[in-house]
Amino acid sequence: MSNNTHAMVLIFTMMAGTLATRFLPFLLLGDKRQTPPFIRYLGKVLPYAIMGMLVVYCLKGVSVIQPSSLAPAALGVGITAGLHLWKHNTLLSIIGGTACYMILVQMVF
pLDDT in tens, 33-42: 788 899 899 9
* CB contact at 8 A, 80 and 94: yes
* CB contact at 8 A, 11 and 18: no
The pLDDT mean for the chain works out to: 89
- Is the pLDDT score of 26 beyond 90? no
Nearest partner of 108 among 77, 78, 67, 80, judged by Cα? 67
Tens of pLDDT, residue by residue over 28-77, are 777 777 888 998 999 899 988 988 898 899 899 898 888 888 999 999 99
% of residues, the chain, pLDDT over 70: 100
* CB contact at 8 A, 83 and 92: yes
List the domain boundaries for the chain: 1-32, 34-108
**What pLDDT does 24 receive?**
87
- Is the pLDDT score of 82 beyond 90? yes
- Is the pLDDT score of 100 beyond 90? yes
